[in-house]
Amino acid sequence: MSNPPAFRWTASLILALALSGERAADAQQKSSAPPTSLFRKVISQPTGQNGYEDLVLAGDALQASRYYEESQKDDLSLAMKRQILADRSVVRALELVRRALQKPVSSPRTTLSYRTELPELQVFRALARVLVLQQYVLLADGRAPEAIGVARTCLRMGQVIQQDTLIHGLVGMAVGAICLQSLGKHLDQLSARDCTLLYNVCTEWLSQPNPQAQVLRSERHLNRVTLTEIRELMKQKGPRAVAEELGADDNALSQLQAIPTAPEAVDALFTTVQKRLDEYYTRLDQELAKPSWERKPVEQEASDLAGHVAGFFLPNYQAVDTRYIQEAARMRLLASHCAIRRFRWEHNRLPERLAVLNLGELAVDPFTGQTLQYETRGTRYTLTSVGAPAPADDPKAVNGRLPVSITPAD
């Protein structure tokens, strides 16, 4: 069947992810914002107290830069990175990001439906790429502690933007992945003190509440609202209108046409569908309460009409859960790398095994519950998570899994 309706307005963002003393919101700011600004589109009731407002303003500032498109490229020279970061609009954007994270950050939306546009999310990802540019330049200048401070900012932004929907979660994880990928290429530059500083950033991140639970609650509410809207559309205009609204294919249309058209029959069917969705999310909550390596996939039965209709509203949450576990694995890998390198500074050799570092849960692979895979090779080493199970024909699979690492040598 077709994609869940909650994903209709996010298809382009999902594709992008797969490929890889002033008051910001006071009346004066509102009146001076351009009509096409993200701020006007996203923030309906500015308070000046919600950091999300400043993040949206940061997106406006970045898009106003003449270097906006250039800043998103991967093959920039160091000189060009410096030029971009010196641009006044870029400087302003980064100032607003940091100001945002000094405030509570919450969703600015009082209502949400599958028709709601989320234009700010793509720009949030663009802001992360500019933060990584700044991180790179600081590392190039030998200013590692400041670069680690930028990493903390980027990782924190990735956490706080996970507010309303699964796509918020996916974008937030992409922001974190952008930061970790960049850091992984430059760990050899870190001093013993830098390793301690970055290790603290990792433990700080891991101590925060997992945004996954909040995202799941928001998605569940969104599905309930969407189901109500689609039920009314079915009663008023029939299955073809619903199919067009959901972007359904011919096979899904044929299934929708099997729905009785009498209003009382539609109500009865959608009541059953809502019950199925509630049962699904309850089972999902139960699985998410388990350690990540003990979770089992939650399947939605689709043997009858109610099951088929429920399938319109449920994403592949197992894939989303895998993404969250990958994110946790990368952060534990980074913390372990810091501990290994700090040990090497202290003893002028690599630890023989991770156990001597006394890392506790930080050295546990969230995919298996076992210790992360650590091997020494002379003066070098590798550190990996075994990763999620892989499709049988995936050429990147190792022993049936897709390993996770953060350094080029892994």
Q: Which tens digit of pLDDT belongs to each residue from 324-366?
A: 999 999 999 999 999 999 999 999 999 999 999 999 999 999 9
More reliable by pLDDT, 18 or 66: 66
Residue 361 buriedness (CB in 10 A; 0-12 / 13-18 / 19+): exposed
Strand partners, 384: 373
pLDDT in tens, 383-403: 999 999 988 888 888 888 999
Q: How does DSSP assign 31-53, residue by residue?
A: HHS-TT-HHHHH-SS--S--HHH
Return the pLDDT at 50.
96
> Residue 244 — pLDDT band, cuts 50, 70, 90?
confident
Q: What's the mean pLDDT in 7-16?
A: 34
Q: Does pLDDT of 13 surpass 80?
A: no
| Average pLDDT value over all residues in the chain | 87
Identify the band that residue 36 occupies on the pLDDT scale cut at 50, 70 and 90: low
Query: Is residue 151 within 8 Å of residue 164, measured between CB atoms?
Result: no
Element (H, E) at 250: helix 250-256
**Residue range 49-61: average pLDDT?**
97
Helix runs in 120-191, H state only: 120-140, 144-160, 166-184
Best CA proximity match to 233, nearest among 246, 249, 220, 224? 246
d(CA 185, CA 140): 12
Give the mean model confidence (pLDDT) for residues 361-381. Answer: 95
List the strands of the sheet with 380-389, edge to edge.
373-377, 380-389, 401-404
State how far the Cα of 96 lies from the Cα of 101, in Å rounded to an integer. 9
How far is 397 from 391, CA to CA, in rounded Å? Answer: 8
pLDDT given at position 409: 61
Give the per-residue pLDDT at 410: 58
pTM, to two decimals: 0.86
E strand or H helix at 380: strand 380-389
Averaged over 363-383, what is the pLDDT?
Answer: 95
For residue 25, pLDDT over 50 is answered with no
246: confidence class by pLDDT, cuts 50, 70, 90: confident
CA distance 53 to 101: 11
Kindly give, in sequence order, each residue whose CB lies less than 8 Å from that of residue 374, ignoring residues fewer than 6 positions away. 336, 340, 353, 354, 381, 382, 383
pLDDT at 300 over 60: yes
The mean per-residue pLDDT over the stretch 214-219 comes to: 88
Token pair listed for 168: 């918020």
Per DSSP (E only), the strands in 300-379 are 373-377
pLDDT over threshold 50, residue 320: yes
Q: Residue 214 — pLDDT band, cuts 50, 70, 90?
A: confident
Q: Is the pLDDT of residue 29 over 50?
A: no
pLDDT, average across residues 54-75:
96
* Tokens 């600004």 sit on residue: 37
Backbone angles phi, psi at 391, to 5 degrees: -60, 150
Nearest Cα neighbor of 85 from 12, 156, 143 is: 143
Residues of the chain with pLDDT > 90: what percent? 62
Closest CA to 112 of 36, 215, 261: 215
Give the pLDDT confidence of 146-190 residue by residue, as tens digits: 999 999 999 999 999 998 889 999 999 999 999 998 899 999 999
Domain boundaries, the chain: 5-208, 217-315, 320-404
CA pair distance 304, 295, nearest whole angstrom: 26
Task: Please give the helix or strand (H or E) that residue 201 lies within, else none.
Answer: helix 192-207
pLDDT for residue 4 is more than 60: no
Identify whether the C-beta of residue 81 lies closer than 8 Å to the C-beta of residue 133: yes
Taking residues 192-212, report their average pLDDT. Answer: 95
Nearest to 381 by CA among 345, 346, 352: 352
* pLDDT value of position 118: 92
**Residue showing tokens 């970055």:** 198
3-state helix, strand, coil in the chain (%, to 5): 60, 5, 30
Between CA 193 and CA 144 the distance in angstroms is 10
